């Protein structure tokens, strides 16, 4: 039996840094493209399910960013789900728990939700098809007081012969978040035991946006988010295609559906050649309109070079989805050519030389501004 494991769609998510460094309505424009990309990833994973011959798709929590998303988000989500040709099971998670405000119980969702979609708002065993069961560890509140996955597993007997069982859960596992104060942490030992005695055949998890499998037990896995959400994630943008054999053995294969990239880059800018190389490196970025870049710079530059550095950054900022530049490691050291370029004489020239020899950052900033105004006038 083959199925698709995904999680953390978080439809309706916003990222305030998108469009940073741009002007006018660029932030809103970049955010709109990011929101559309998340829907496109959902549609893409539906195609993956069809092409792979999957029996169903299970979404392990955080379908929506919150239970307060607007009707536009709900409507577009339902339209994306309408394109699926296999059953889709939606598990509430910590962002959209199955409390009284659950978005997937709202009238606007019920009105537009296609019939092949099932909301796992009731914990326990759900039959997807003859011989196929999904066990839902549903979040009923944002702050569970127990390990919801272990609670479901302890209530199970071994699966009947010929029945394949998948546990759908959400939350942090103990080997990644060993927080003894959090009663909801998922205990991997409980999951291993349930796999060993045949109560379940695969543990599908959501909450971690990076694709991850437990070392030594690939049947316990996070699919990761189908589209990247932060610079801290490792290998996001995937869904997992899972094959479970008659003997309970499972194979797991990631398939990429995401198209955006949140990238970190580091560069040394000591020379004119370094600045030219940085410019070329930014020019070579693939799909800059779908790239949020964090650029960390270090080096020592003259005022002329610092002006050139600012020009390079300003030239690329409008093209990128977001550009954050850390120049804390860049020191500015004016040279004689910087002062001569100002074209000053007499007292003004003497003052400029004093500023150039100063170590006060404010003095260097003043000279940098003067240099920039002088050479561009």
Give 309-323 pLDDT, tens digit per residue.
Answer: 999 999 999 999 999
> What average pLDDT score do residues 149-171 get?
96
The answer, yes or no, to whether residue 24 has pLDDT greater than 50, is: no
- Cα(247)–Cα(245) distance, rounded to whole angstroms? 5
Pairing of strands 124-129, 132-136: antiparallel
* Average pLDDT estimate for 125-144: 96
Where is 36: in which H helix or E strand? helix 26-52
Per residue in 163-197, pLDDT (tens digit) is 999 999 999 999 998 777 899 999 999 999 999 99
Domain 2-256: which CATH number of 3.20.20.210, 1.10.150.120, 3.90.1310.10, 3.60.21.10: 3.60.21.10
State residue 297's pLDDT score.
97
Give CA 332 to chain center in angstroms.
35
Helix axis angle for 303-316 and 361-376, nearest 10°, is: 70
Digit-coded pLDDT (tens) for 254-307: 999 999 999 999 999 999 999 999 999 999 999 999 999 999 999 999 888 988
Q: Cβ-count burial of 355 within 10 angstroms (0-12 exposed, 13-18 middle, 19+ buried)? A: buried
d(CA 320, CA 291): 6
Percent of the chain with pLDDT over 90: 77
Q: What is the DSSP string of 119-157?
A: E--S-EEEEEETTEEEEE---SSSS-SS-HHHHHHHTPP
* CA distance linking residue 59 with residue 31, whole number of Å: 24
What pLDDT is recorded for position 342?
Answer: 67
State the Cα–Cα distance between residues 63 and 103, nearest whole angstrom. Answer: 10
pLDDT attached to residue 367: 67
- Residue ranges of the domains in the chain? 2-256, 261-376
72-84 mean pLDDT: 97
Whether residue 374 is predicted with pLDDT greater than 90 in this model: the reply is no
- Tens digits of per-residue pLDDT, 79-116? 999 999 999 999 999 999 999 999 999 999 999 999 99
What was the pLDDT predicted at 29? 82
Q: How does strand 212-214 pair with strand 217-222?
A: antiparallel
With beta carbons less than 8 A apart as the criterion, state whether 243 and 219 touch: no
CA separation for the pair 178, 181 (Å, rounded): 9
For residues 306 and 372, give the distance between their C-alpha atoms in angstroms, rounded to a whole number. Answer: 9
Residue-wise pLDDT tens digits, 197-244: 999 999 999 999 999 999 999 999 999 999 999 999 999 999 999 999
Please check the confidence at residue 26 and state whether its pLDDT lies above 60.
no
Q: What is the mean pLDDT of residues 2-23?
A: 81
Name the residue among 12, 28, 23, 30 with its Cα closest to residue 322: 30
The pLDDT of residue 334 is 78
pLDDT at residue 181, rounded to an integer:
87
Is 70 exceeded by the pLDDT of residue 140? yes
pLDDT category, 117, cuts 50, 70, 90?
A: very high
Whether the CB-CB separation of 42 and 77 falls below 8 Å is answered with: yes
* 47 phi, psi to nearest 5 deg: -65, -40
Phi, psi of 223 (to 5 degrees): -75, -25
Q: So what's the pLDDT on residue 23? A: 40
Who contacts 237 (Cβ-Cβ below 8 Å, separation ≥6)?
Answer: 41, 224, 225, 226, 227, 228, 256, 257, 258, 259, 260
Residue 21 pLDDT: 47
- Separation of alpha carbons 80 and 17, rounded Å: 26
* 278, 308 contact by CB (below 8 A): no
Please check whether residue 186 is in contact with residue 205, taking contact to mean a CB–CB distance below 8 angstroms: yes
């Amino acid at each position: 039996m083959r199925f698709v494991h995904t999680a953390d769609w978080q439809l309706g998510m916003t990222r305030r840094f998108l469009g940073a460094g741009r002007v006018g309505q660029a932030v809103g424009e970049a955010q709109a493209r990011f929101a559309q990309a998340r829907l496109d990833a959902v549609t893409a994973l539906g195609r993956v399910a069809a092409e792979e011959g999957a029996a169903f798709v299970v979404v392990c929590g955080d379908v929506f960013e919150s239970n307060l998303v607007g009707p536009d988000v709900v409507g577009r989500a339902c339209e994306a789900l309408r394109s699926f040709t296999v059953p889709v099971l939606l598990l509430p998670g910590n962002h959209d728990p199955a409390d009284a405000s659950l978005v997937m119980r709202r009238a606007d969702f019920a009105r537009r939700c296609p019939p092949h979609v099932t909301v796992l708002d009731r914990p326990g065993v759900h039959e997807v098809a003859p011989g196929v069961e999904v066990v839902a560890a549903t979040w009923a509140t944002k702050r569970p007081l127990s390990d919801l996955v272990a609670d479901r597993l302890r209530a199970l007997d071994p699966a009947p012969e010929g029945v394949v069982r998948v546990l759908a859960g959400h939350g942090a596992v103990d080997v990644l978040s060993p927080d003894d104060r959090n009663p909801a942490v998922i205990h991997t030992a409980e999951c291993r035991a349930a796999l060993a005695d045949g109560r379940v055949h695969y543990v599908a998890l959501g909450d971690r946006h990076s694709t991850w499998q437990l070392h030594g037990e690939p049947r316990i896995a996070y699919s990761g988010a189908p589209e990247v959400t932060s610079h801290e994630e490792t290998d996001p943008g995937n869904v997992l295609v899972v094959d479970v054999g008659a003997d309970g053995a499972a194979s797991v294969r990631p398939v990429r559906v995401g198209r955006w990239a949140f990238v970190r880059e580091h560069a040394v800018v000591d020379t004119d050649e370094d600045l030219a190389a940085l410019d070329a490196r930014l020019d070579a970025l693939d799909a800059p309109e779908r790239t949020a870049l964090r650029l960390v710079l270090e080096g020592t530059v003259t005022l002329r070079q610092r002006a050139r550095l600012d020009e390079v950054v300003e030239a690329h900022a409008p093209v990128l989805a977001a550009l954050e530049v850390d120049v804390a490691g860049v020191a500015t050291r004016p040279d004689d050519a910087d002062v001569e370029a100002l074209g000053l004489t007499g007292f003004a020239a003497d003052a400029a030389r004093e500023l150039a020899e100063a170590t006060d950052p404010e003095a260097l900033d003043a000279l940098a501004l003067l240099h920039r105004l002088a050479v561009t006038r």
